[in-house]
Amino acid sequence: MSSRIAIVTGGASGIGRAIAAALAARGDIVTVADIDVAGAEKVAARLSERAPATAAALDVTDADAVAALYRSVREEHGRLDLVFNNAGIAVGGLTEEMTLDHWNRTIDVNLRGVVHGVHAAYPIMLEQGYGHIVNTASLAGLVPAPLMLPYTTTKHAVVGMSLALRAEAASRGVRVSVICPGFVDTPLLDNANPGLPATETGRNARRAAQQVQRRLYSASALARDVLRGIDRNDALIVAPASGRAAWRGARLSPRAAVRIAGLSVRRMRRLGG
């Protein structure tokens, strides 16, 4: 298979960096885009040892900037094969602790950032007649996930948008997948509520995650799952196995899923006290 042209937003760290590395390992040409341009440049420099990679400064909340980057990659390479709308932030806390700033910032990055990526990539891929859009959501977009309502809300929205677009795009040659990982061992767990008022859950996000999922999944393992899912054209890429089990359980018994989520809330309140 010839090298594919890919863009990964949020590529300077965590899941984005792992996906970019997995793409480069198989010879794909990757643009590593991130608001942390210095971090993106470091990642791109390392990836360039395996395959062509470049860094781009990108704030996904800026729709014009997203559109300009996607167009420029298409113009430079003549096509755009893969787009990973991955950039996101972690927000945690009891709902009564949340301010509108928590809600608005989460919606701006985690939802509008993905919308901007879809809005920029989809017309390009329609014109080409092919391409694959991959949006990063979360297991929190498939199951009741308390103590992070703004985050959970945006991830449910990303799942719904991705599945609806997949149905619309299928006859036009464009594929759409959505990534729904459980808790992954990334810097997001150590940087919850970035630039926002602190909360008890946010300060202890890693500890809270490990209460729900004792063994955090590695970003590199998730990246392998993602590339396999793309090759199979999976609609939903859910990992790890414990996440798939939770998803199946929530589908079979939403009432039980809510009850289990409530137990997690009580456990975290005891730990916080």
Q: Do residues 219 and 15 lie in contact, with contact meaning Cβ atoms separated by under 8 Å?
A: yes
CA 239/CA 184 separation, integer angstroms: 9
The position carrying tokens 């937003």 is 9
130 is known as an active-site residue = no
Q: Which of 91, 131, 132 is nearest to 111 (CA)?
A: 91
Q: Which of 60, 62, 56 is nearest to 32 (CA)?
A: 56
CA 27/CA 23 separation, integer angstroms: 7
- At residue 9, what are phi and psi to the nearest 5 degrees? -85, 155
For the CA atoms of 68, 69, 72, 77, the dihedral, rounded to the nearest 10 degrees, stands at -150
Neighbours of 89 (CB within 10 A): 21
Which one of 70, 122, 151, 217 is the catalytic residue? 151
**What residues act catalytically?**
151
